[in-house]
């Protein structure tokens, strides 16, 4: 069914506030494809918030009133990923987004601070105002680890209040504990991609992972006592050589990643999944008893990526989304009633990745 020129308005009560939350979907001009698949029993009333470009890593404010995300939507006047905030209190659509990064360089991995009045993100703008060059074609899918990435704190007007890291290599992928005391992030400062923690003011930086391999994308459990993250563990000689060779060029190949869990200080670490391919973008469920993550473990061609639930001990694996291309970056609202995620669904057969919000059904 084509919905050219049609505006669909869907409303529901947002439990954490007194007002009615209204989502407005914008017109599309081609066959959009499914927005909700029949088997997606954990998702209800899915709403699309962005249209066009690559929109990713959307995370909730402490009170659940706003989302912060990164986008390279050229119609918004950006050349590469910049950070935007979207108020989801009334008629939430991306036409009402607010640019809160500098508009210079490339940005990634934003997260609200506990006060809800500032946020952290990583940016390359100190290394140059232009978008950094793309990675060279190696014949493999690789992620760039720009050495100019550092972590900053900015206020809601986008004014930088503090530079948190100053190392000459990659610092990014920062998230904040719900306890309001620690930031966890990934750094290449020691020559390997490891997890570090620091206080909210940037003091007391401490390395908490030490095994060779990529440790990244970490976040805390709802009670702040545990962390979950993605990790690679090259073992064979050729794997180690390939991993180190890419690191020397500020790149990593995210093709063999598994989910790990540990106490918040890095102790008692254990591997949760052993599925193969890429398992990443993990987050705890609201009760802290399960992990929701993205995986292409069943794929033979790289896609699709879908969301899966699993117990902390790796049992009871359950598929949650059933898109034919890409679902990732899940994050629960502070009250646990809604899930935001990013997907290639409903994009008119383009390559656009957009942000969606759904009611969560246990």
Domain CATH code at residue 147: 2.120.10.30
In a domain, 283, yes or no: no
Residue 320 lies in a domain: no
Contacts 24+ apart (CB under 8 A), 52-56: 52/352, 52/354, 53/352, 53/353, 54/81, 54/352, 54/353, 55/94, 55/342, 55/353, 55/354, 55/355, 56/81, 56/328, 56/329, 56/342, 56/353, 56/355
Beta bridge partners of 107: 123
Contact call for residues 21 and 13 (beta carbons, < 8 A): yes
Q: What sign for the dihedral angle of Cα 299, 302, 304, 307?
A: positive
* Structural domain contains residue 258: yes
Residue 185 placed within a domain: yes
Indicate the number of domains in the chain: 1
Taking the alpha carbons of 11, 15, 16, 19 in that order, is the dihedral positive or negative?
positive
pLDDT of res. 7: 26
167: in domain:
yes
Looking at the domain assignment, is residue 207 inside a domain?
yes
CA distance 162 to 113: 13
The verdict on residue 191 lying in a domain is: yes
The token pair at 134 is 């793309």
User: Domain for residue 277, yes or no?
Assistant: no
Q: How much is the pLDDT for 20?
A: 36
Q: Which domain holds residue 118?
A: 100-271
Residues of the chain with pLDDT under 70: 1-31, 90-92
What pLDDT score does 108 carry?
Answer: 97
Provide the pLDDT for residue 24.
Answer: 45
């Amino acid at each position: 069914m084509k919905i050219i020129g049609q505006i669909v308005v869907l409303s529901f009560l947002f439990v954490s506030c007194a007002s009615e939350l209204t989502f407005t979907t914008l017109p599309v001009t081609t066959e959009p494809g499914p927005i909700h698949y029949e088997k997606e029993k954990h998702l209800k009333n899915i709403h699309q918030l962005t249209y066009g470009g690559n929109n990713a890593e959307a995370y909730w404010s402490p009170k659940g009133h706003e989302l912060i995300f990164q986008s390279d939507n050229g119609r918004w006047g950006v050349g590469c990923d910049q950070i935007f905030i979207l108020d989801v209190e009334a008629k939430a659509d991306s036409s009402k987004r607010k640019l809160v990064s500098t508009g210079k360089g490339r940005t990634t991995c934003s997260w609200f601070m506990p006060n809800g009045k500032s946020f952290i993100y990583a940016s390359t703008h100190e290394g140059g105002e232009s978008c950094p060059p793309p990675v060279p074609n190696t014949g493999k899918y690789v992620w760039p680890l720009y050495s100019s990435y550092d972590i900053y704190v900015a206020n809601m007007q986008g004014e930088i209040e503090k530079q948190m890291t100053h190392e000459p290599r990659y610092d990014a992928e920062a998230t904040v504990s719900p306890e309001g005391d620690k930031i966890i992030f990934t750094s290449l400062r020691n020559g390997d991609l490891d997890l570090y923690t620091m206080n909210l003011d940037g003091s007391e930086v401490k390395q908490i992972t030490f095994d060779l391999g990529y440790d990244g994308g970490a976040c805390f459990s709802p009670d702040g006592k545990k962390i979950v993250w993605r990790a690679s563990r090259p073992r064979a000689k050729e794997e180690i050589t390939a991993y180190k060779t890419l690191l020397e060029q500020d790149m990593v190949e995210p093709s063999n990643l598994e989910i790990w869990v540990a106490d918040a200080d890095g102790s008692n670490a254990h591997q949760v999944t052993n599925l193969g391919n890429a398992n990443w973008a993990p987050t705890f469920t609201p009760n802290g008893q399960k992990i929701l993550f993205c995986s292409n473990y069943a794929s033979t061609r790289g896609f699709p990526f879908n969301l899966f639930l699993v117990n902390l001990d790796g049992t009871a694996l359950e598929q949650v989304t059933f898109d034919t291309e890409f679902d990732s970056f899940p994050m629960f609202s502070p009250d646990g009633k809604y899930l935001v995620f990013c997907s290639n669904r409903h994009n008119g057969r383009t390559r656009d990745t957009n942000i969606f919000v759904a009611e969560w059904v246990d």
